[in-house]
Amino acid sequence: MFTGIVEELGTIVAREELSDAARITVRGPLVTSDASFGDSISVNGVCLTVVEQSPDAFTVDVMAETLDRSSLARLGTGSRVNLERAMAAGGRFGGHIVQGHVDGVGEVVSVSPSEHWTVVRIAVPDAISRYIVEKGSITVDGVSLTVSALSDGAPGEQTWFEISLIPTTLDETTLGSVSIGDPVNLEADVIAKYVERLHPATAAVQPDVK
């Protein structure tokens, strides 16, 4: 499990295309400093397993399912990525519950800088939009963020949400360099998904009060 607090900006230094997967090597001295075979590291919000490591880099295998459902398929040598190690028991819970399981890919539709922050609007797939609420949490490329605004979901209109990024987030994550049209990995709050899943069962066992 992760919390969406990016520890380091890494760089993809190698990518090998396999028949049904890709093998990617990422330079990230901080997250690699205590990495071991089999450890989990979030790469742009995708939980991946370390299969090799060196003093300043680690290698992961990305299967076709992950490539199809995330933006990792579009990244190559030289791409910058957000990195976070799995949360240690007893560690600070700085963001929110992040599993590293991408629900879908959004698209940046506007970037509006101001003096002290930047507002980014992201078009979101309809299948995810029902889990997004104003002032709720969402993970964008592995970064835990608060939804500052969202569309009303009117029929025929594009579904979107906005995030307001402070200078630290702009400087320390890949979100500081996003442009219109860029894809971003999205993970909705898992609590909302569990509530939706359990609601019918919960309703079924409610007592019949007259």
Tens digits of residue pLDDT in 127-177: 899 899 999 999 999 999 999 999 977 777 889 999 999 999 999 999 999
Q: What is the pTM of this model?
A: 0.89
- Which pLDDT score, from 0 to 100, does residue 200 have? 64
CB-neighbour burial class of residue 124 (10 A; exposed 0-12, middle 13-18, buried 19+): buried
Q: Which of 103, 120, 112, 93 is nearest to 182 (CA)?
A: 120
Q: Is residue 209 pLDDT above 50, yes or no?
A: no
- Which pLDDT score, from 0 to 100, does residue 1 have? 86
Dump the DSSP string for 53-97: E-SSEEEEEEEHHHHHHSGGGG--TT-EEEEEEPPPTT----S--
Which residues, listed in sequence order, are joined to residue 42 by a DSSP beta bridge? 47, 84
Mean pLDDT, residues 182-195: 91
CATH code given to domain 104-197? 2.40.30.20
Q: Which CATH architecture has domain 8-85?
A: Beta Barrel (2.40)
Strands (E), the chain: 8-17, 21-27, 40-43, 46-53, 57-63, 80-85, 104-113, 118-123, 137-140, 143-150, 160-165, 183-188
Fold agreement (8-85, 104-197): yes
Q: Where are the domains of the chain?
A: 8-85, 104-197
- Which pLDDT score, from 0 to 100, does residue 94 have? 75
- Which pLDDT score, from 0 to 100, does residue 157 have? 80
Mean pLDDT, residues 95-104: 88
**Alpha carbons within 13 A on the beta-carbon side of 83:** 27
- Which pLDDT score, from 0 to 100, does residue 95 have? 77
pLDDT in tens, 30-74: 999 999 999 999 999 999 999 999 999 999 999 999 999 999 999
